[in-house]
Amino acid sequence: MRVLCIGECMAEMVPTGGSQDYRLGFAGDTFNTAWYLARSAPRVQVSYLTVVGDDAISAQMTKFTRDSGIDDGLIRTSPDKTVGLYMISLDKGERSFSYWRSDSAARALADDVDHLRKAMADADVIYFSGITLAILPDAGRSTLIDAVKEARAAGKEIAFDPNLRPRLWASMDAMRDAIMEGAAVCDIALPSYEDEAHCFDDPTPQATARRYVDAGADTVIVKNGSGAVIVFEDGTWSESPVHPVTDLVDTTAAGDSFNAGVLAGYAKGAPTQSSVAFACNLARAVVQQRGALVPIAADELTLDEKT
Ligand code: ADP
């Protein structure tokens, strides 16, 4: 089974205590999912498709990708660009983020349509997000959506996390239109209710699921923080309980790791209910540690395929 994740990985500066001391890391929504997937499904080939620069930080990022067990063979290089960057600031325990990504190399990830098509042809599952769509220029976004649509018609499984980020879009309407275009070409939609309620005025998680089903998704899995996960599949609703943590540390990458759990389950041929339960366990472990990419204990990585 080959899973292709498409999007942007950024350099990350994490404060280490002193007011001017930072540790360099690498993260980004679709990359985080690829990272957790590589950990939780070692037999799955996970590839990451993006564009980086031709400089030292880009080489470090590509090496990190490789060292994480993610195939870097589809990463293209743009000689006159570099990778995006974000810095985490801490003020009395509250995190805030500053971004330098508006001219990042990843914005060209859909410029080479032949590369995109070939990468998709070689994959069984294709995963992208609303952030992947947000960073692209209009032409690139259309190219990506068209390529995904073709891949779906050719029998590939398409997974899409809308990952709504109004600040990355020219307007709320532009975001809503593009997200629903993404929804129309996916098999599995993985929205987060809090964001969807805010941006689409959905009164309930079921309303969110219904909107993605109506757009064309076969399976919709609605994350809802510490609330139950709502699943719509084959015309049937179900709920998966979430066991809220008592020691919530940092919700960064909760949704990204959850998506990795769902994809790991899919790749292993597990029923959706088991995949969602596994995804909840994985995300539960992630929110109890600081940072996007956290070490996960082996028992958190066990998927019960029988349930
Ligand atoms: P996102 O990160 O996309 O906003 P959510 O906040 O909805 O996504 O969380 C994704 C998943 O992380 C949830 O479905 C749940 O499985 C897990 N999760 C989030 N918050 C908690 C919590 N307080 N306790 C346990 N699990 C949690």
Asked whether residue 240 is domain-assigned, the answer is: yes
pLDDT confidence bin for 92, thresholds 50/70/90: confident
Contact 248, 288 (CB under 8 A): yes
pTM: 0.97
Asked whether residue 16 is domain-assigned, the answer is: no
| Residues 164-220 pLDDT 10s | 999 999 999 999 999 999 999 999 999 999 999 999 999 999 999 999 999 999 999
Asked whether residue 230 is domain-assigned, the answer is: yes
Mean pLDDT of 292-296: 92
Give the per-residue pLDDT at 3.
98
Give the domain CATH number at 31: 3.40.1190.20
The total number of structural domains in the chain stands at 1
**Backbone phi, psi, residue 100, to 5°:** -125, 85
Q: Mutate which of 226, 248, 257, 275 to test ligand 1's pocket (most atoms within 8 Å of Cβ)?
A: 226
Asked whether residue 192 is domain-assigned, the answer is: yes
Amino acid at residue number 245:
V
Asked whether residue 279 is domain-assigned, the answer is: yes
Task: Let me know if 256 is a catalytic residue.
Answer: yes
**What distance in Å separates the CA atoms of residue 172 and residue 174, rounded to the nearest whole number?**
6
Distance 147 CA to ligand 1 centre (A): 31
Classify each residue of 267-281 as buried b or exposed e, where b means 16 or more C-beta atoms within 10 Å of its C-beta: bbebebbbbbbbbbb
Give the per-residue pLDDT at 19.
76
Distance 101 CA to ligand 1 centre (A): 26
- In which domain, by residue range, is 289 found? 2-9+27-83+106-297
Give the per-residue pLDDT at 291.
87
- 131 to 166, 210, 238, 268: CA distances (angstroms): 10, 22, 28, 27
Asked whether residue 88 is domain-assigned, the answer is: no
| Residues 1-54 pLDDT 10s | 999 999 999 999 998 887 789 999 999 999 999 999 999 999 999 999 999 999
Asked whether residue 174 is domain-assigned, the answer is: yes
Angle between helices 272-286 and 29-40 (to 10 degrees): 110
Q: Which of 55, 177, 256, 299 is catalytic?
A: 256
Asked whether residue 148 is domain-assigned, the answer is: yes
As for ligand 1, residues whose beta carbon falls within 6 Å of it are 192, 223-226, 229, 242, 244-245, 248, 251, 254-255, 258, 280, 283-284, 287
Contact 306, 281 (CB under 8 A): no
pLDDT confidence bin for 307, thresholds 50/70/90: very low
CA quadruple 126, 302, 193, 226: dihedral, nearest 10: -160
